[in-house]
């Protein structure tokens, strides 16, 4: 293949990617007019999962660092913004500006401890779980946040949507999380095409070889965990103002961390579309199952978890790279950046 | 000629075993310097200490006049020492192009500029056709070449090659030897290589160091070294002559 041919093929892929993005975005923008309130809530849950999956993917998919404690960063974002709002009357967007450094700092502390002392692989994953558990138990006894009794945000009936205070109807929340997901996607796309993105991939592939190519791997991994934690904290802010109640058990529980990684794992770790596709597949199908069971008058506790397990099994056995990479090949999109 | 790299009584111990025992030598700037010796002689350990993968227990290593012993591998690379691995380690899932871009980004922050540099190098090493293939899909000779290209992309003053020619066919060896010679003569790149393929060592090296059980048993011009009785006894064997 000549350089021109390679360039032309890449252009075609780029065009197809752009078309896919525009169609997807248009459909998502139009969704509130097309679906009912229940489905809109499902869409919110899907986009929430896509957003957190995108953030987690920076650490695992790009830099190759397995975090199983991302609930920590979302939880900190949720509690910081909720406490500032309920106790001090500070608007959530300002609260978000506080929760970003809090989450980023906690990510940096975990990263520093792990990367400085050579904790890697599954041991790093265990460390991230441990910190999320510390937070869960700590917040369970922290009276500032009403401990285990839970923190509640005042739910008032608003005649209009107040975007500044994040009080309003599901449509407003839908657009907020959609915007956040678009921003996260664009940010990831930018990062992976930049110098730090190349360095992350090199570290993921072979850390020793990366160091020999002159890469300061410690610093790059610190960037990954800090950026990922900072982005994830926004999910927490959203969570707090969407659900209006926070319990340490729920917010910091390991189940939350696992839910965050399911989307990208099903969709394709390390890809840009994987977290989005995986969230749609998983949450979409799980909600369908839920409502089908409800319609049939069956009450099956834990059905969703069993369903997640089955999905994971199928993907691990049949599509170990996730659903997106083979689908992208089929659509002629695979020659784009990874 | 001034020396670019000099080692002064460098030693490394693994528990009781002395892998490298007070080794001293100097690599002249612009030269091709070969380290030979039987398996287990301490060649790779020596390499790892120069490249920063491990710190020596004693002795000093100076590169371009500054001490580098005990520096981390990335710091050593930034100073201008690039290495390849005995068992090749390209980034398997990344494309050939991206592998080289990673190296080129060391001296330039801009990805497009790094890509341009990568393309120029890949063309020169006949790998440009495989630009978009994942590195894992390459054949062993191609992967070895890719690793040299990635190392060169960091714009080193000194290139460390660890058994780059092992496992290659004679025609591939000749091609690699020609490339390395060209690099050396054109850009004045200093090369330090560990090699078992004596044909290549004789063709390339201006100076040869022979290690055995961690100590230097001979050093000098290749023609002189291969006639050294101690070298013949411990490494080459009589039939090579």
State the SS3 of A188-212.
Answer: HHHHHCCHHHHHHHHHHHCHHHHHH
Chain B: residue nearest A193 by CA? B111
| Domain membership flag for residue A159 | yes
**In a 3-state reduction of DSSP, which class is residue A65?**
coil
Contacts of B110 in chain A (CB under 8 A): 195
| Domain membership flag for residue A190 | yes
The interface predicted TM-score of the complex, written ipTM, equals 0.90
| Domain membership flag for residue B106 | yes
Domain boundary among B133, B155, B177: B155
Contacts of B120 in chain A (CB under 8 A): none
Which of A62, A115, A213 to probe the B interface (max B CBs under 10 A)?
A: A213
Task: Share the mean pLDDT of chain B.
Answer: 91
Domain boundary among B138, B155, B172: B155
**Token output for B70:** 């005990």
| Domain membership flag for residue B170 | yes
Sign of the CA dihedral with B34 first, then B40, B44, and B48 last: negative
Whether residue B239 sits in one domain with residue B162: yes
| Domain membership flag for residue A335 | no
Q: Cβ of B105 and A195 within 8 Å? A: yes
pLDDT for res B230: 83
| Domain membership flag for residue A32 | yes
Do B29 and B4 meet the contact criterion of CB atoms below 8 Å apart? yes
Q: Which of A55-59, B86-90, B144-148 is the most confident on average?
A: A55-59
pLDDT for res A163: 82
All residue ranges of chain A with pLDDT < 50 are 1, 336-338
Whether residue B161 sits in one domain with residue B75: yes
pLDDT bin (cut points 50, 70, 90) of residue B238 is: low
- Distance from B106 to chain A by nearest Cα, in Å? 6
The whole domain housing A93 covers 9-330
- Name the DSSP class of B219: E
Q: Cβ of B102 and A215 within 8 Å? A: yes
| Domain membership flag for residue A4 | no
Per DSSP, what are the bridge partners of residue B192? B33, B160
Q: Cβ of B111 and A193 within 8 Å? A: yes
| Domain membership flag for residue B217 | yes
Q: How many alpha carbons lie under 13 Å from residue A212 in its C-beta half-sphere?
A: 29
Question: How far is it, in rounded angstroms, from Cα B214 to Cα B21?
Answer: 5
| Domain membership flag for residue B6 | no
Whether residue B169 sits in one domain with residue B71: yes
Domain boundary among B116, B134, B155: B155
Per DSSP, what are the bridge partners of residue A212? none
Lowest mean pLDDT among A180-189, B84-93, B140-149, B223-232: B223-232
Q: Cβ of B98 and A201 within 8 Å? A: yes
Spell out a b/e string for A152-161, using b for 16 or more CB atoms within 10 Å of the CB, else e. ebeeeeeeeb
pLDDT for res A1: 43
| Domain membership flag for residue A1 | no
Q: What CATH number did the domain enclosing A254 receive?
A: 1.10.3470
pLDDT for res A234: 96
Whether residue B167 sits in one domain with residue B99: no
Whether residue B123 sits in one domain with residue B48: no
- Distance from B192 to chain A by nearest Cα, in Å? 16
The yes-or-no verdict on residue B64 having pLDDT over 80 is yes
Q: How many structural domains is chain A composed of?
A: 1
Whether residue B151 sits in one domain with residue B127: yes
Whether residue B94 sits in one domain with residue B18: no
Question: How far is it, in rounded angstroms, from Cα B160 to Cα B162?
Answer: 6
B51-to-A118, A119, B80, B202 alpha-carbon distances in Å: 19, 23, 10, 25
Rg of chain B (C-alpha set): 18
Q: Cβ of A194 and B82 within 8 Å? A: no
The yes-or-no verdict on residue B113 having pLDDT over 60 is yes
pLDDT bin (cut points 50, 70, 90) of residue B168 is: confident
The whole domain housing B131 covers 90-155
pLDDT for res A9: 63
Q: How many structural domains is chain B composed of?
A: 2
Whether residue B204 sits in one domain with residue B103: no
Whether residue B241 sits in one domain with residue B179: yes
Contacts of A216 in chain B (CB under 8 A): 74
Whether residue B172 sits in one domain with residue B131: no
Q: Is B238 on the interface with A (CB under 8 A)?
A: no
pLDDT for res A330: 84
Percent of chain B with pLDDT over 90: 68
Whether residue B171 sits in one domain with residue B54: yes
Which of B51, B68, B74 to probe the A interface (max A CBs under 10 A)?
A: B74
């Amino acid at each position: 293949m000549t350089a021109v041919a390679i360039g032309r093929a890449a252009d075609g892929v780029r065009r197809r990617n752009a078309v896919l993005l525009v169609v997807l975005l248009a459909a998502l923008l139009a969704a509130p007019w097309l679906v009912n309130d229940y489905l809109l809530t499902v869409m919110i849950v899907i986009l929430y999962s896509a957003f957190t999956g995108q953030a987690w993917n920076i650490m695992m998919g790009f830099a190759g660092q397995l975090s199983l404690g991302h609930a920590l960063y979302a939880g900190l974002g949720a509690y910081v913004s909720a406490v500032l709002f309920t106790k001090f009357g500070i608007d959530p967007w300002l609260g978000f500006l506080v929760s970003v450094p809090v989450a980023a700092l906690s990510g940096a502390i975990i990263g520093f401890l792990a990367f400085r002392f050579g904790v890697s692989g599954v041991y790093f994953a265990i460390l991230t779980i441990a910190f999320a558990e510390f937070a869960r138990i700590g917040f369970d006894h922290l009276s500032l946040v009403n401990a285990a009794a839970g923190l509640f945000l005042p739910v008032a009936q608003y005649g209009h949507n107040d975007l500044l205070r994040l009080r309003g109807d599901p449509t407003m929340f839908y657009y907020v999380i959609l915007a956040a997901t678009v921003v996260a996607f664009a940010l990831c796309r930018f990062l992976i095409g930049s110098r730090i993105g190349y360095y992350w991939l090199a570290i993921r592939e072979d850390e020793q070889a990366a160091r020999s190519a002159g890469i300061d791997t410690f610093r790059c991994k610190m960037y990954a965990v800090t950026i990922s934690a900072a982005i994830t904290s926004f999910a927490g802010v959203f969570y707090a103002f969407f659900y209006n109640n926070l319990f340490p058990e729920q917010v910091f529980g390991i189940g939350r961390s696992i839910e965050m990684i399911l989307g990208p794992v099903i969709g394709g770790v390390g890809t840009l579309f994987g977290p989005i596709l995986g969230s749609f597949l998983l949450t979409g199908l799980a909600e369908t199952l839920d409502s089908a069971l409800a319609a049939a008058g069956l009450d099956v506790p834990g059905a969703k978890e069993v369903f997640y397990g089955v999905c994971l099994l199928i993907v691990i056995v049949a599509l170990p790279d996730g659903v997106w990479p083979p689908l992208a090949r089929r659509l002629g999109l695979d020659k784009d950046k990874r | 000629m001034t020396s670019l790299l000099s080692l002064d009584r460098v030693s490394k111990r693994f528990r009781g075993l002395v892998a490298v025992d007070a080794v001293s030598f100097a690599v002249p700037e612009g030269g091709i310097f070969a380290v030979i010796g039987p398996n287990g002689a301490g060649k790779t350990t020596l390499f790892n200490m120069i490249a920063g993968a491990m710190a020596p227990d004693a002795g000093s290593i100076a590169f371009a006049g500054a001490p580098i012993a005990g520096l981390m591998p990335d710091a050593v690379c930034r100073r201008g020492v690039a290495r390849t691995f005995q068992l090749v380690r390209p980034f398997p899932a990344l494309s050939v192009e991206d592998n080289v871009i990673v190296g080129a980004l060391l001296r330039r922050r801009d990805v497009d500029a790094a890509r341009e540099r990568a393309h120029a190098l890949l063309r020169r090493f006949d790998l440009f056709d495989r630009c978009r293939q994942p590195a894992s899909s390459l054949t062993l000779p191609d992967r070895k070449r890719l690793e040299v290209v990635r190392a060169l992309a960091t714009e080193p003053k000194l290139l460390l090659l660890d058994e780059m020619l092992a496992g290659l066919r004679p025609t591939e060896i000749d091609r690699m030897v020609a490339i390395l010679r060209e690099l050396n003569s054109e850009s004045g790149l200093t090369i330090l290589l560990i090699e078992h393929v004596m044909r290549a060592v004789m063709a390339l090296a201006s100076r040869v160091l022979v290690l055995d059980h961690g100590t230097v048993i001979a050093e000098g011009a290749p023609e002189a070294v291969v006639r050294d009785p101690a070298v013949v006894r411990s490494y080459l064997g009589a039939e090579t002559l």
